[in-house]
Amino acid sequence: MTPGTVIKEKIIAAYEAMAESYNALIDHKAHNAYYDRPNTLALIPEPEGKLILDAACGPGKYAEILMSSGATVTGFDISSRMVELAKERNKGKGDFFVHDLSQPFTKLADASFHIVVCALALHYVQDWTLTIKEFCRVLKPGGVLVISIEHPFFEFNYFRSKKYFEVEPVKCIWSGFGKPVEMNSYRRPLQQCIAPLTGNGFYVDQIIEPRPVEEFKKHDPKHFKELNAFPAFMCIRAIKRT
Ligand SMILES: C[S@@+](CC[C@H](N)C(=O)[O-])C[C@H]1O[C@@H](n2cnc3c(N)ncnc32)[C@H](O)[C@@H]1O
Protein backbone atom coordinates (compact mmCIF):
# COMPACT_ATOMS: atom_id res chain seq x y z
CA MET A 1 0.00 0.00 0.00
CA THR A 2 1.22 3.53 -0.79
CA PRO A 3 1.40 6.11 2.03
CA GLY A 4 -1.60 7.85 0.42
CA THR A 5 -3.65 4.64 0.54
CA VAL A 6 -2.76 4.06 4.18
CA ILE A 7 -3.87 7.62 5.05
CA LYS A 8 -7.14 7.19 3.11
CA GLU A 9 -7.89 3.93 4.93
CA LYS A 10 -7.30 5.70 8.26
CA ILE A 11 -9.63 8.56 7.26
CA ILE A 12 -12.37 6.09 6.28
CA ALA A 13 -11.90 4.13 9.54
CA ALA A 14 -12.10 7.35 11.59
CA TYR A 15 -15.37 8.44 9.95
CA GLU A 16 -16.89 4.98 10.12
CA ALA A 17 -16.08 4.91 13.86
CA MET A 18 -17.45 8.43 14.40
CA ALA A 19 -20.45 8.35 12.06
CA GLU A 20 -23.18 7.75 14.67
CA SER A 21 -22.00 10.43 17.09
CA TYR A 22 -21.22 12.83 14.22
CA ASN A 23 -24.80 12.40 13.00
CA ALA A 24 -26.23 12.79 16.50
CA LEU A 25 -24.31 16.02 17.15
CA ILE A 26 -24.23 17.68 13.72
CA ASP A 27 -27.45 19.70 14.10
CA HIS A 28 -25.97 21.78 16.94
CA LYS A 29 -22.19 21.13 16.94
CA ALA A 30 -20.88 24.66 17.21
CA HIS A 31 -18.14 24.55 14.55
CA ASN A 32 -20.59 23.06 12.04
CA ALA A 33 -23.95 24.59 12.92
CA TYR A 34 -22.85 28.08 13.95
CA TYR A 35 -19.61 28.57 12.03
CA ASP A 36 -19.25 26.48 8.87
CA ARG A 37 -22.86 26.11 7.74
CA PRO A 38 -24.12 29.71 8.04
CA ASN A 39 -21.07 31.02 6.18
CA THR A 40 -21.00 28.32 3.51
CA LEU A 41 -24.76 28.42 2.93
CA ALA A 42 -24.50 32.20 2.49
CA LEU A 43 -22.44 31.55 -0.66
CA ILE A 44 -24.96 29.10 -2.18
CA PRO A 45 -27.42 30.71 -4.62
CA GLU A 46 -31.19 30.28 -4.03
CA PRO A 47 -31.60 26.46 -3.93
CA GLU A 48 -35.25 26.27 -5.03
CA GLY A 49 -35.55 24.28 -8.26
CA LYS A 50 -31.79 23.64 -8.46
CA LEU A 51 -29.98 20.34 -8.99
CA ILE A 52 -27.27 20.21 -6.33
CA LEU A 53 -24.39 17.79 -5.74
CA ASP A 54 -23.37 17.48 -2.06
CA ALA A 55 -19.87 16.01 -2.41
CA ALA A 56 -18.63 14.31 0.79
CA CYS A 57 -22.11 14.72 2.22
CA GLY A 58 -21.44 13.09 5.60
CA PRO A 59 -24.75 12.32 7.32
CA GLY A 60 -26.65 14.54 4.87
CA LYS A 61 -27.21 17.69 6.93
CA TYR A 62 -26.48 20.07 4.03
CA ALA A 63 -28.68 17.91 1.80
CA GLU A 64 -31.50 18.14 4.35
CA ILE A 65 -31.27 21.95 4.47
CA LEU A 66 -31.01 22.32 0.69
CA MET A 67 -33.90 19.94 -0.01
CA SER A 68 -36.05 21.75 2.55
CA SER A 69 -35.46 24.86 0.40
CA GLY A 70 -36.71 23.10 -2.73
CA ALA A 71 -33.49 21.71 -4.27
CA THR A 72 -33.03 18.21 -5.69
CA VAL A 73 -29.89 16.79 -4.08
CA THR A 74 -27.48 14.02 -4.99
CA GLY A 75 -24.86 13.22 -2.37
CA PHE A 76 -21.90 10.95 -1.98
CA ASP A 77 -19.38 10.13 0.71
CA ILE A 78 -16.48 7.72 1.11
CA SER A 79 -17.92 6.36 4.39
CA SER A 80 -20.70 3.83 3.80
CA ARG A 81 -22.11 4.43 7.29
CA MET A 82 -22.31 8.17 6.59
CA VAL A 83 -24.22 7.40 3.38
CA GLU A 84 -26.68 5.18 5.28
CA LEU A 85 -27.19 7.98 7.82
CA ALA A 86 -27.73 10.53 5.02
CA LYS A 87 -30.44 8.25 3.58
CA GLU A 88 -32.06 7.80 7.03
CA ARG A 89 -31.96 11.53 7.80
CA ASN A 90 -33.52 12.41 4.47
CA LYS A 91 -36.15 9.64 4.54
CA GLY A 92 -36.01 8.51 0.94
CA LYS A 93 -35.53 12.02 -0.47
CA GLY A 94 -32.34 12.63 -2.45
CA ASP A 95 -29.96 10.15 -4.02
CA PHE A 96 -26.97 9.10 -1.88
CA PHE A 97 -24.16 6.69 -2.73
CA VAL A 98 -20.65 5.73 -1.65
CA HIS A 99 -17.90 7.37 -3.67
CA ASP A 100 -14.36 8.72 -3.24
CA LEU A 101 -13.77 12.40 -4.09
CA SER A 102 -10.39 11.50 -5.55
CA GLN A 103 -11.82 9.09 -8.16
CA PRO A 104 -13.70 10.04 -11.37
CA PHE A 105 -17.40 10.68 -10.72
CA THR A 106 -18.43 7.97 -13.21
CA LYS A 107 -22.07 7.85 -12.03
CA LEU A 108 -22.59 11.54 -12.75
CA ALA A 109 -23.25 12.96 -16.22
CA ASP A 110 -21.61 16.04 -17.70
CA ALA A 111 -23.39 19.35 -16.99
CA SER A 112 -25.94 17.72 -14.68
CA PHE A 113 -25.85 20.14 -11.71
CA HIS A 114 -26.46 23.86 -11.14
CA ILE A 115 -24.48 23.83 -7.87
CA VAL A 116 -21.82 21.65 -6.23
CA VAL A 117 -21.19 22.02 -2.51
CA CYS A 118 -18.26 20.34 -0.79
CA ALA A 119 -18.09 21.24 2.91
CA LEU A 120 -15.13 20.47 5.15
CA ALA A 121 -13.81 17.56 3.10
CA LEU A 122 -11.21 18.67 0.54
CA HIS A 123 -8.45 18.54 3.16
CA TYR A 124 -8.79 14.74 2.95
CA VAL A 125 -7.69 14.81 -0.70
CA GLN A 126 -3.95 15.11 -1.39
CA ASP A 127 -4.13 16.29 -5.00
CA TRP A 128 -7.23 18.34 -5.83
CA THR A 129 -6.73 18.37 -9.62
CA LEU A 130 -8.97 15.45 -10.59
CA THR A 131 -11.62 16.39 -8.03
CA ILE A 132 -11.89 19.98 -9.23
CA LYS A 133 -11.94 18.84 -12.89
CA GLU A 134 -14.82 16.51 -11.99
CA PHE A 135 -16.69 19.31 -10.16
CA CYS A 136 -16.28 21.39 -13.33
CA ARG A 137 -17.40 18.57 -15.66
CA VAL A 138 -20.62 17.82 -13.75
CA LEU A 139 -21.58 21.51 -13.46
CA LYS A 140 -23.64 23.28 -16.09
CA PRO A 141 -21.98 26.28 -17.79
CA GLY A 142 -21.94 29.13 -15.27
CA GLY A 143 -22.58 26.60 -12.48
CA VAL A 144 -21.47 27.39 -8.93
CA LEU A 145 -19.01 25.48 -6.75
CA VAL A 146 -19.05 26.28 -3.02
CA ILE A 147 -16.41 24.75 -0.78
CA SER A 148 -15.42 25.14 2.84
CA ILE A 149 -11.97 24.09 3.99
CA GLU A 150 -9.72 24.47 6.97
CA HIS A 151 -8.05 27.87 6.73
CA PRO A 152 -4.48 27.41 5.46
CA PHE A 153 -3.05 29.89 7.99
CA PHE A 154 -4.89 28.21 10.87
CA GLU A 155 -3.55 24.80 9.82
CA PHE A 156 -0.01 26.10 9.41
CA ASN A 157 -0.09 27.28 13.04
CA TYR A 158 -2.10 24.41 14.46
CA PHE A 159 0.14 21.71 13.00
CA ARG A 160 3.29 23.76 13.72
CA SER A 161 4.38 23.24 10.14
CA LYS A 162 7.88 24.12 9.04
CA LYS A 163 7.10 23.66 5.33
CA TYR A 164 4.50 26.27 4.38
CA PHE A 165 4.75 25.75 0.63
CA GLU A 166 4.24 21.98 0.73
CA VAL A 167 1.09 19.91 0.74
CA GLU A 168 1.87 17.68 3.71
CA PRO A 169 0.09 14.90 5.58
CA VAL A 170 -0.86 15.91 9.12
CA LYS A 171 -2.76 14.29 11.95
CA CYS A 172 -4.35 15.16 15.28
CA ILE A 173 -6.78 13.69 17.78
CA TRP A 174 -10.46 14.64 17.49
CA SER A 175 -12.32 14.48 20.79
CA GLY A 176 -15.41 16.49 19.89
CA PHE A 177 -17.43 13.59 18.47
CA GLY A 178 -17.43 11.05 21.31
CA LYS A 179 -14.54 8.60 21.69
CA PRO A 180 -11.26 10.28 20.59
CA VAL A 181 -10.10 9.31 17.08
CA GLU A 182 -6.90 10.00 15.18
CA MET A 183 -7.77 12.21 12.21
CA ASN A 184 -5.46 12.34 9.20
CA SER A 185 -5.64 15.01 6.52
CA TYR A 186 -3.50 17.16 4.20
CA ARG A 187 -2.38 20.70 5.05
CA ARG A 188 -1.72 22.99 2.09
CA PRO A 189 -0.66 26.57 1.38
CA LEU A 190 -3.21 29.19 0.30
CA GLN A 191 -1.95 29.03 -3.28
CA GLN A 192 -2.80 25.31 -3.39
CA CYS A 193 -6.38 26.14 -2.35
CA ILE A 194 -6.86 28.61 -5.21
CA ALA A 195 -4.69 27.40 -8.13
CA PRO A 196 -6.52 24.06 -8.54
CA LEU A 197 -9.76 26.06 -9.02
CA THR A 198 -8.46 28.71 -11.41
CA GLY A 199 -6.38 26.15 -13.32
CA ASN A 200 -9.25 23.72 -13.88
CA GLY A 201 -12.17 25.68 -15.29
CA PHE A 202 -13.28 28.06 -12.52
CA TYR A 203 -12.86 31.67 -11.51
CA VAL A 204 -13.00 32.56 -7.84
CA ASP A 205 -15.99 34.77 -7.17
CA GLN A 206 -15.91 35.21 -3.38
CA ILE A 207 -13.91 34.15 -0.34
CA ILE A 208 -15.22 34.34 3.23
CA GLU A 209 -12.97 34.14 6.28
CA PRO A 210 -15.90 33.26 8.53
CA ARG A 211 -16.93 34.62 11.90
CA PRO A 212 -19.03 32.46 14.21
CA VAL A 213 -22.68 33.49 14.52
CA GLU A 214 -23.91 34.68 17.94
CA GLU A 215 -25.50 31.31 18.80
CA PHE A 216 -21.98 29.78 18.85
CA LYS A 217 -21.19 31.69 22.06
CA LYS A 218 -23.85 29.82 24.07
CA HIS A 219 -22.45 26.44 23.06
CA ASP A 220 -18.71 27.13 23.18
CA PRO A 221 -17.64 30.55 24.55
CA LYS A 222 -13.89 29.75 24.44
CA HIS A 223 -13.84 28.96 20.72
CA PHE A 224 -16.27 31.84 20.03
CA LYS A 225 -13.61 34.21 21.31
CA GLU A 226 -10.79 32.44 19.45
CA LEU A 227 -12.68 32.34 16.14
CA ASN A 228 -13.41 36.05 16.40
CA ALA A 229 -9.67 36.64 16.67
CA PHE A 230 -8.45 34.20 13.99
CA PRO A 231 -10.31 32.09 11.41
CA ALA A 232 -10.20 28.29 11.41
CA PHE A 233 -12.12 27.78 8.15
CA MET A 234 -12.35 29.44 4.77
CA CYS A 235 -15.36 29.38 2.41
CA ILE A 236 -14.92 29.85 -1.33
CA ARG A 237 -17.41 30.37 -4.15
CA ALA A 238 -16.08 29.57 -7.63
CA ILE A 239 -17.96 29.84 -10.94
CA LYS A 240 -17.51 27.53 -13.90
CA ARG A 241 -16.06 29.59 -16.73
CA THR A 242 -18.06 29.53 -19.95
C1 LIG B 1 -16.15 16.92 8.37
S2 LIG B 1 -17.16 15.79 7.50
C3 LIG B 1 -18.22 16.90 6.60
C4 LIG B 1 -19.51 16.27 6.18
C5 LIG B 1 -20.50 17.23 5.51
N6 LIG B 1 -19.96 17.79 4.30
C7 LIG B 1 -20.88 18.32 6.47
O8 LIG B 1 -20.31 19.41 6.39
O9 LIG B 1 -21.74 18.07 7.32
C10 LIG B 1 -16.09 15.18 6.25
C11 LIG B 1 -16.72 14.09 5.39
O12 LIG B 1 -15.83 13.83 4.29
C13 LIG B 1 -15.88 12.45 4.02
N14 LIG B 1 -14.67 12.10 3.25
C15 LIG B 1 -13.39 12.06 3.65
N16 LIG B 1 -12.59 11.72 2.63
C17 LIG B 1 -13.38 11.56 1.54
C18 LIG B 1 -13.14 11.21 0.18
N19 LIG B 1 -11.92 10.97 -0.26
N20 LIG B 1 -14.21 11.11 -0.65
C21 LIG B 1 -15.47 11.35 -0.20
N22 LIG B 1 -15.75 11.67 1.08
C23 LIG B 1 -14.72 11.80 1.94
C24 LIG B 1 -15.95 11.81 5.40
O25 LIG B 1 -16.38 10.47 5.34
C26 LIG B 1 -16.91 12.75 6.11
O27 LIG B 1 -18.24 12.32 5.98
- What's 224's domain CATH number? 3.40.50.150
How large is the average pLDDT for residues 97-119? Answer: 98
Query: How do residues 36-71 score in pLDDT, each as one tens digit?
Result: 999 999 999 999 999 999 999 999 999 999 999 999
Number of domains making up the chain: 1
Please determine, for residue 6, whether its predicted confidence score (pLDDT) is greater than 90.
yes
Please determine, for residue 1, whether its predicted confidence score (pLDDT) is greater than 90.
no
Please determine, for residue 179, whether its predicted confidence score (pLDDT) is greater than 90.
no
Query: How do residues 196-217 score in pLDDT, each as one tens digit?
Result: 999 999 999 999 999 999 999 9
What is the C-alpha separation between 5 and 21, in angstroms, rounded?
25
Query: How do residues 224-233 score in pLDDT, each as one tens digit?
Result: 999 999 999 9
Total-model pTM = 0.97
Please determine, for residue 123, whether its predicted confidence score (pLDDT) is greater than 90.
yes
Which residue CA neighbors atom 13 of ligand 1 most closely? 56
Q: Which domain holds residue 234?
A: 3-240
pLDDT of residue 232: 98
Q: Which atom of ligand 1 is nearest the CA belonging to 79?
A: 25
Query: Which residues sit with their C-beta closer than 6 Å to ligand 1?
Result: 11, 15, 26, 32, 56-58, 61-62, 77-79, 82, 100-102, 119-121, 124-125
pLDDT of residue 116: 98
